Every structure is written in structure tokens, then in C-alpha cells.
Amino acid sequence: MNKTAPKGKTLGMVLKGYPRISETFISNEIKLLEEMGFTIHIYSMRAPRESFSHDSIKDIKAKVTYLPSSMILGLPALLWHNIRLFLRMPKRYLKCLELMKTRFKLAPKKHTWIKHMLQGGYIMQKSVIDDGVDIGHLHGHFAHTPTTVTMYAAELADVPFSFTAHAKDIYTQDPRRFQDKIDRAEFVVTCTKYNERYLSKVSPNGKPIHCVYHGINLDLFSPNGRSTEAKPPYNILTVARFVEKKGLDTVLYALAKLRDEGIPFTYTLVGEGKAKFNRKIEQLIKELHLEDVVTMPGTITHDEVIRLLGEADCFTLGCREAEDGDRDGIPNVVAEAMATGVPVVATDVSGVPELVEHGETGLLCPSNDAGALADRLKRMLTHQDLRAKIIPAARAKVHEVFDNKKLIHELGEIYISHGVPCGK
């Protein structure tokens, strides 16, 4: 494959969906990379599912190609463009089929892997050949299906590729399913040192694996002169998708313990999940008799999250390793809380301790331990000297290591060092 790409070519970015309300970090990354001079074309594996998006989406110039996402409704378009591509370059297409064949025995759902190959062919024929998008490099966000499509499209386009590995995409699949992706990629990016260590062990062949935190836009978050002191009734906040790895049940059990100890508080739980999990959370709130103190506004805009952070006395998450191996990296909202002057109480899972240092920039406890979480919450809410120490230290930590402008510049320099095309 061509290892370098001249200026003026396009960086193709393959995403699971675009835009997605839960992936502000990706839209921010694209926006800032464009400001650095990269020309980006987005390939989205499915249409947006939310009825609204973050304001940062409006500033992105990249055009979007939505790939056929269904093997039923999308099959005619996928077959048409792949047949044309095969007739145009049969040797290269057969080589890509051989690549798919080597991976096929690891596929839990055979038809989806065929679809990913066809989507890669769609990118090459429909976008690169028909529409004339001059791709010089392809990058997939998430190590599972987007990177599979990226790898096939790169093989067909004869360009280098890379990918960013996050959390669920790493830990919920057989490592053999992304070992060859690491080996074939030009480089890999991941968002925590915890992930970097794991990926290096999975594929110890010396492939460059770069740790770059997602970062947040620090211009949006400020304590605005608010005091570090908290007064009852305390306002506790969680923003999270309703999934097992967030440990929301642990948080609710901890809150019940706080109530039983006579600590007055209100709790806002922002987010939602699949209907079954939503019902489980609602049922647990009733079983613990927390209905009078819990507010659940559902999925809200980022501006509304910022407003709620401005009113909170403490932010908490009960992150854990889920049964299927899924776990968080560093949830961006943790950094957002710290930057706003809201102290964080969380669990010591995955990359969280890289930002929330126990006793210094927040308080941590083991996962699945509601008693320990309740103890940490009580300390953070009622010990004013502790708050006065942790809040400014947490804000300084975020400014030191989680400024997305600095981090995206670092990421851009990594891209450039590996030959990814940039107009500047």
C-alpha cells in the first residue's frame, strides 16, 4: 500500500452513525481537524437516530455519505456498486475477498461481515470512483464494525488506514478479531493509557499505538465564581447512558443509604437506554422509595447538561466492568464536571483513575460497592475542607491534560507524521 499521501487529498472517516448525541467527542474532533487544514469526508454506517444534534455539528464542513445499512433494503445498491467495482478491478476485488475469507471463521454473524465487505466496496465505487472523492487515507472510529469497513475500503482503494479504539469496541469482542486490524493499520489511536497497555499486549508487534484523550472544549465549562461550599439539600447529578457498565444501580443503592443516614439531597439522572433497562431503573427507584428525590429528564442537549452541571454539588458514576467485558474509558462528562467546579465521586474502573485521582482530584471507590460509594458521596458533600482542596485541583488537572484543542492538535500531528493528507 501507498504509505504517504500528498496534500490536497481527503481523509475519509468511517463512523457507526453521524451525528450521534452521545459522541460529541467525535464531532469536536472532526471540527478541530478541519480547522487544522484536513479535508474530511464522513462515511456513516447508519442514519442519525436522534431528532436533534449538538451545535458543533453546524460548524463541520465535511460532506457525508450514508452507507446502505440494511442487507434487505440496501442490498440492491450494495450489489450494483460491488459488481461494477469487481468488473473494473477484478484482481484487487478478489484480493479483498481473500482478506474477508481469512477473517470469516471468527465472524459470529456471517451476514454482517459480508455486508461490511459490500459497504467497503460501496465506498470505493460510489464515492471514490463515481463521485470523485480523492481519498488519501481512511480512518475508522471504533475498532469493531467501522474499522472492518475501513479496512476493506482501504484495501480496495489501495490507501493506508488507521483507527481509533475506544472501550466497548475493544473489550466485548475476541481480541483475534482486531489483531489483524492492528497489524494491517498504519497506526492506532486510543483514548486512555489503560487501553493502550491492553492493545499493546494483544498485538505486541511494535505497531504505533498512540494514546490521545478525547478532551473537552474548556471554553464551555467554568465555575463562574461559584463557591466550593455545598449546602443541604445537596444536588447530586449523573449523566449516562442506561447500560450495565455505568453502574446506575450501585448509585441508586448508595443514594438510598445516604437518605437512611439523614443526608438531604435531590438527584438528577440524565439519559436513557433500551426500554427494558429503563424499566429496571425506574423499578429500582420505586423499590428504594427514591421517587421523591429523583428527577429523570431523559436525553437532553449538551447545553442543558452544562446548565445542570452549573447547579450540581456533586457528580457521580458507578462504572463497572459489564458481564460481556464492556467498560468505560474516561467518560467525557466526568471531565466536564471537573472543569465546571463540580467534584466527582466515581469508581476506580478502566481509565477513570487517570483523571480522577483519589483524594486529589476526586474520590474513588471499588465498583459494585454501594456502601463505599455512599461513604465517598457523604464525605464529598459534607466536608468543606475536602471540597476546597479537590475542586480547584480537579479543574487544574482537566486544563492540564484534557483540553481538546491541544489534544486534537496532537492528534493532527500524529496523522501528519504517518502521512495522512493535510492541506496545511
CATH number at residue 16: 3.40.50.2000
Residue with cell 455545598: 230
Q: Are residues 412 and 388 in the same domain?
A: no
Task: Report cis status (omega within 30 of 0) of the bond before 108.
Answer: no
Confirm whether pTM is higher than 0.75: yes
Q: Are residues 288 and 359 in the same domain?
A: yes
Q: Are residues 207 and 258 in the same domain?
A: no
Q: Are residues 224 and 211 in the same domain?
A: no
DSSP 341: T
The alpha-helical segments, DSSP class H, found in 193-331 are 193-202, 248-260, 275-287, 302-311
Strands of the sheet containing 265-270, edge to edge, are: 294-298, 265-270, 234-239, 314-316, 344-347, 363-365
Per-residue model confidence (pLDDT) at position 206? 85
β-bridge partners, 162: 139
Position 27 in a domain: yes
User: Residue 357's CB: how many other CB atoms inside 10 A?
Assistant: 16
Mean pLDDT (the chain, rounded): 92
Residues 6+ apart with CB under 8 A from 251: 238, 316, 317, 318, 370, 373
Q: Are residues 290 and 228 in the same domain?
A: yes
The answer on pLDDT for 344 being more than 90 is: yes
Cell digits for 389?
482542596
Burial 293-320 (b: 16+ CB within 10 A, else e): bbeeeebbebeebeebbeebbbbbbbbb
Per-residue model confidence (pLDDT) at position 4? 46
Q: Are residues 285 and 378 in the same domain?
A: yes
Residues 268 and 235: their CA atoms lie apart, in Å, by: 8
How confident is the model over 223-230, as a mean pLDDT? 91
Q: Are residues 188 and 241 in the same domain?
A: no
Per-residue model confidence (pLDDT) at position 7? 56
Residue 338's domain comprises 218-401
Residue among 226, 301, 230 nearest 57 (CA)? 301
Q: Are residues 305 and 172 in the same domain?
A: no
Position 73 in a domain: yes
Q: Are residues 120 and 224 in the same domain?
A: no
Least confident of 4-13, 177-186, 348-357: 4-13
The answer on pLDDT for 302 being more than 90 is: no
Number of domains in the chain: 2
Per-residue model confidence (pLDDT) at position 147? 96
Q: Are residues 280 and 335 in the same domain?
A: yes
Residue among 192, 122, 128, 195 nearest 158 (CA)? 128
Distances (CA, A) of 41 to 62, 197, 200, 362: 5, 31, 29, 39
Per-residue model confidence (pLDDT) at position 338? 98
Per-residue model confidence (pLDDT) at position 3? 44
pLDDT tier for residue 52 given thresholds of 50, 70 and 90 = low
Q: Are strands 135-141 and 161-165 parallel, antiparallel or unpaired?
A: parallel
Position 71 in a domain: yes
Per-residue model confidence (pLDDT) at position 267? 98
Q: Are residues 28 and 123 in the same domain?
A: yes
How confident is the model over 156-171, as a mean pLDDT? 95
Q: Are residues 175 and 305 in the same domain?
A: no
